[in-house]
Amino acid sequence: MALETAFIQEKLSQTFGNNVFNFEMKRDIFTFEATSDTIHEVIRFLKEQEDLNFHFLTDLTGIHFPDNDDSHQFAVVYQLHNWIKNMRIRVKTYLPENPELETITDLFLCSNWMEREAWDFFGINFKGHPQLKRILNMDEMVSHPMRKEFPMEDSGRTDKDDRFFGRISING
């Protein structure tokens, strides 16, 4: 028998009360939000509860929303999967400027590099992560390139004429 979304919602609300909210069915994946200080416990609950059993972490990603209000500047999205009941679930948590969050490397070994990628690209600090350092970009880089204010192109290039691309010239 499949996991009913109403059942999941009820179990979560019973345990976490107001810390989990915004339950909705985004297309085919059941999505909800959790507050950033309870996210670790929510994910542990989803993993270890026998009737929920979301034992596989599919993805962990960060998103930057510079246009949102101050407490919703960054989001971390976790996607979990239960292979036995064939059910996916998505958990989102929003973070303010200078985002910090507890790591889930003690629950899922594969979140190690996923969190390092989120740190590298967005600057989301995962407290308790064993090795939070740059992974894809150069070690000497100081900025976090996937933030919206960071430009895509190399600002030091001298061989492209910005006039032809309809851009304001940034290097003279």
Partner 1 sequence: MSDLLLPPEHRYAKLIEQSRNEDGSEFSILNLGPTHPATHGIFQNILLMDGERIIEAEPTIGYIHRAFEKIAENRPFYQINVLTDRMNYCSSPINNMAWWMTVEKLLNIEVPKRAQYLRVIVMELARITDHLICNSILGVDTGAYTGFLYVFQLREKVYEIYEEICGARLTTNMGRIGGFEREWSEEAFKKLNIFLEEFPIAWKEFENLFERNRIFIDRTVNVGGITAEKAMAYGFTGPNLRAAGIDYDVRKAAPYSSYEDFEFDVPVGKSGDTYDRFCVRNAEVWESISIIKQALAKLPEGPIHADVPDYYLPPKEDVYTNMESLIYHFKIVMGEVPVPVDEIYHAVEGGNGELGFYLTSDGSRTPYRLKFRRPCYVYYQAYPEMIKGAMLSDAIVILSSLNVIAGELDA
Partner 2 sequence: MSETKTNMVAPPEGVVGEGFFATKLNDVVGMARANSLWPLPFATSCCGIEFMATMASHYDLARFGSERVSFSPRQADMLMVMGTISKKMAPILRQVYEQMSEPRWVIAVGACASSGGVFDTYSVLQGIDKVIPVDVYVPGCPPRPEQIVDGVMRLQELVRNESVRRRNSPEYKELLASYNL
| Minimum CB distance to partner 2, residue 164 (Å) | 13
| Minimum CB distance to partner 1, residue 133 (Å) | 5
| Runs of H (alpha helix) within the chain | 5-16, 39-48, 111-122
Q: How far is CA 66 from CA 63, 94, 125, 145, in A?
A: 10, 12, 17, 14
The amino acid sitting at 99 is P
* Closer residue to partner 1 in complex, CB, 18/165: 165
160 binds, among partner 2, partner 1, none (CB under 5 to 8 A by kind): partner 2
Each as own residue / partner, the long-range contacts of residues 19-28 (CB below 8 Å, 24 or more positions apart, any chain) are 26/90, 28/88
Instruction: Give the contact letters, 115-154, x = binds to partner 2 (CB under 8 A), - = no.
Output: ----------------------xx------x----xxxxx
Binders of partner 1 among residues 131 to 160 (CB under 8 A) are 131-139, 145-146, 150, 152
- Return the structure tokens found at 162: 């910005």
| Minimum CB distance to partner 1, residue 57 (Å) | 6
| Minimum CB distance to partner 1, residue 124 (Å) | 14
92 and 59 in contact (C-beta within 8 Å)?
Answer: no
Instruction: Give the contact letters, 23-62, x = binds to partner 1 (CB under 8 A), - = no.
Output: ---xx-x-x-----------------------xxxxx-x-
The answer to whether 159 contacts partner 2 (rule: CB under 8 A) is yes
The answer to whether 2 contacts partner 2 (rule: CB under 8 A) is no
DSSP helix/strand/coil, 114: helix
- Please give the Cα distance from 166 to 139 (Å, whole number): 33
